[in-house]
Structure 1
Amino acid sequence: MRRALDALYDGCAWLAAVFMIGVLVMVLLSVLGRQFNFHVPGTDAYAGYSMAAAGFLALAHTLKRNEHIRVTLVLGKLTGGARRGMELWSLSAAVLLSGLFAWFSLRLVMQSHEFNDISTGNDATPLWIPQLGMALGTLVLLIAFVDEWVLELRGQRQHIGGPETRHE
């Protein structure tokens, strides 16, 4: 199970990297178009779609590598059961919030598809297509938070404290 979850997080990170390359390609097309007098319609929109997909798809991988910004002002002062309780409370809130975010993101994709919602730009893209990146990213983030919650509950979660949590 651990290998499958890690593969999921890594796969989303690789997909996020592909979308970052997509941003680069769209920006280069736009710059080259201005330099050489040609226009590729929708480059701005597709750069935005790619940037959003890259951001959302990278969330779970970033969480699992302990790279999310955490405010540890209170947590750093706690030890033992109090710290574990606060970690579980924080992770429970994160599971709830990421679950709501995933639910409403998936619902947005379904509604955009159902209503045939189209971009108002000159690209006229069905909006459910770029919204898939956000929905997938939030769903995998939910899975990652549940994973962290279970690991904390079992006492298997690794706490990596940065310099702000060390008292030297």
Structure 2
Amino acid sequence: MTEYRLAGVVRPIDVLTQAALYLSALCLFALFGFILSEVIARNIFGRSISFSWDYAAYMMGAVFFLASGAALRNGVHVRVTALREVLAPGMRRALDILACLVGIATVAMILWALAEMAWLSYGRGSRAATVSKTPLWLPQAAMAAGALVLWLQMIAQTLRVLAGGTLHGDAAE
């Protein structure tokens, strides 16, 4: 795959990943707002905000999944590199490709499960069993969207390695 063709496939994934990262930052800001408002409401007014914990949890799930593709793209996921460090460059590349393929399969299963859960919740009209009665497909769809971005970024990373590049976060070999 030429550099030009690789960029044509990978660049849109990177743009989507960056957009998901910005959305996760907004969710993190909202999470902070929900927790801060709950702390203020309890300590100053002696009352709880009925929906704050629910929505803080929804935001946490969204942040985790929406930012995971960017974490992979920027090489900040936790990796155990002990085996990679003792391998010759060719074997290291083969191990990287194998790890990417296993990652694609694993994330595909997570994506499928999250998307199916959101779809079933939508179809059944499932709502939170709390005061907020939030339609559960909304936070579930946010997590599925983040898993989709992670899956696409795993594919992009695999294409980069197959094209002779290194995993993000690695020094040039």
- The reply on whether 1:33 has 2:41 as its aligned counterpart is yes
Matches within 5 A, 1:68-79: 68-79=77-88
**2:82 is paired with a residue of what secondary structure?**
coil
Check whether the contact 2:20–2:66 (CA below 8 A) recurs between aligned residues. yes
Q: Deviations over 1:64-113 (max 9, x none)?
A: 00000101111111112211111111111000001111111111110011
Partner of 2:3: none
Instruction: Work out the CA distance in 2 between the residues paired with 1:161 and 1:135.
Output: 28
1:46 aligned to 2:49?
Answer: no
Deviation (angstroms), 1:36: 2.1
Aligned to 2:100, which of 74, 87, 91?
91
* Partner residue in 1 for 2:141: 132
Match of 1:11 in 2: 19
- If each structure's helix is expressed as a fraction of its own residues, which one has the higher value? 2
1:2-49 Cα deviation digits (max 9, x unpaired): 432221111111101000111111112111211124543211000110
Equivalent of residue 69 in structure 2, options 31, 51, 60:
60
1:166 corresponding residue in structure 2: none
- The DSSP-based 3-state class of the residue aligned with 1:123 is coil
The answer to which of 20-29 and 153-162 deviates more is 153-162
1:16 and 1:114 map into 2 onto residues whose CA distance is 26
Q: TM-score if structure 1 supplies the norm length?
A: 0.90
Q: Work out the CA distance in 1 between the residues paired with 2:77 and 2:123.
A: 35
Q: Is the 8 A contact 2:51 2:131 kept in 1?
A: yes
Q: Distance in 1 between matches of 2:24 and 2:168?
A: 26
Aligned pair count reads: 162
Structure 1: gaps spanning 5 or more residues: 163-168
Distance (Å, rounded) in 1 between the aligned partners of 2:168 and 2:88: 12
CA RMSD in angstroms, aligned pairs only: 1.5
In structure 2, runs of 5+ residues without a counterpart are 1-7
Query: Which fold has the larger relative contact order, with Cα–Cα distance below 8 Å and residues 6 or more apart in sequence?
Result: 2
Amino acid at match of 2:154: F
User: Which whole-Å CA distance do the structure 2 matches of 1:141 and 1:56 have between them?
Assistant: 8
Residue identity in the other structure for 1:28:
L
Return the alpha-carbon distance in structure 1 between the equivalents of residues 37 and 20 of structure 2.
25
| Aligned equivalents of 1:61, 1:71: Cα separation in 2 | 19
Residues in 1 aligned to 2:119 and 2:128: alpha-carbon distance in whole angstroms: 15
